[in-house]
Structure 1
Amino acid sequence: MKKKLLKYPFYFVVNYIPNHIINKIPFYFIRHLYYKSVLGIKIGTGSSVHMNTFVNRTNIKIGTNSSINRNCYLDGRGGLFIGNNVSISPEVHLITASHDINSESFEYFEKSIKVDDFVWIGTRATILPGVNLKKGCVVASGSVVTKDVSSYDIVAGVPAKVIGKRNEKLNYNCKWFPPFD
């Protein structure tokens, strides 16, 4: 019983506070301070996690000059690794845990997601457990990515399929800090 009671303060600190209080504060410095110091999330220089982003657990690493826009879902249960100069559009879901639908006991599992440098993920895309998005690839808005995407491929659809190739000479940064976001 005592062990069960000790779980509640933990979940309050790592789930409730960051997702119902901290993510509503319109100042990057305060949000990032909480994410880094309390949750242990690694956020690189020049990177931004915008308002109303839902953070699930703490095994999240974000490189430099990457932008995670409003209302995203960052699931760190299985490990979430975001590279440098990554642009994640609003309402994107990166999900690292699920259940085996064919398991008699509906078995729970976790698999990490890795997003390499210069990846752009469009609005309302969903990235499922175990997916690796290779350097410079693009995921179109509304896509559901169920398997790895090769470097510089452009994918779209449900499930996402290759629809084109991106220029391989990429040299930009996604550092973006709009005021009060």
Structure 2
Amino acid sequence: MRKIISEFRLYLCNHLISHIPSHSIRLFYYRKIMNFKIGKGSTICMNCKFDAAKGLEIGLDSVINSGCRIDTRGNLKIGNNVSISEEVIILTADHDELFDHAQARNKEVVIEDYVWIGTRAMVLPGLHIKYGAVIAASATITKDVESCNVVAGIPAKFIKMRTNNFNYSARYRRLFQ
């Protein structure tokens, strides 16, 4: 019975709550029912899908834009003033290809403060994206990204350094988003 209730909570989250054009209602559900820790000024826009309850921690003034797939099975920690663009995929679980029965494994992802992740980028399990890094649109992150590095491509490679004089808020909240 507990499994059914858990799956129903996730179903409601992904197929009903995520489509409600009210930040307040969505954030209430995410905090109280999904047990996500979401800091003041942070938001999750419409049509985001989650793989599990719990396991998500977001700092202050960060945004997850619409249409993202966020896997929280292995825990996801997002810092302050992080901007995650539309349709980004962040995975925290995979399968060990060395086992014949594809054994599942969870690996925490950490995204530090002032990170930007471009549209349709993909972050693979177990990675650490450090302070001020920028992930270009459609990049696939297969290894840790160092502080203030700008990376792009599949797999993502270093492009250039970003200055680290950050003093802005990534807070972003539009009506009906």
TM-score, normalization: structure 1?
0.95
1:96 counterpart (92, 95, 100)? 92
1:144 counterpart (140, 145, 153)? 140
Give the residue type in structure 1 aligned to 2:113.
Answer: D
1:45 is the counterpart of 2:40: yes
- 1:102 deviation in Å? 2.5
Where do 5+ consecutive residues of structure 1 fail to align? none
CA distance in 2: counterparts of 1:143 and 1:130, whole angstroms: 16
CA shift digits 1:2-60 (9 cap, x unpaired) = xxx441122101x1000000000000000000000111101111101000011222210
2:80 counterpart (81, 84, 88)? 84
RMSD over aligned Cα atoms: 0.8
1:116 counterpart (112, 115, 132)? 112
1:159 counterpart (147, 152, 155)? 155
- Hey, what does 1:28 align to over in structure 2? 23
CA distance in 2: counterparts of 1:178 and 1:48, whole angstroms: 10
**SS of corresponding position for 1:154:** strand
TM-score, normalization: structure 2?
0.97
- Hey, what does 2:60 align to over in structure 1? 64
Where do 5+ consecutive residues of structure 2 fail to align? none
**SS of corresponding position for 2:3:** helix
1:11 is the counterpart of 2:1: no
**SS of corresponding position for 2:175:** coil
Give the residue type in structure 1 aligned to 2:176.
Answer: F
- 1:179 deviation in Å? 0.6
- After the TM superposition, list the runs of 4 or more consecutive aligned residues in structure 1 that deviate by more than 6 angstroms: none
CA distance in 2: counterparts of 1:117 and 1:6, whole angstroms: 36
* Percent identity between the two aligned chains: 43
CA distance in 2: counterparts of 1:83 and 1:10, whole angstroms: 27
Give the residue type in structure 2 aligned to 1:49.
Answer: I
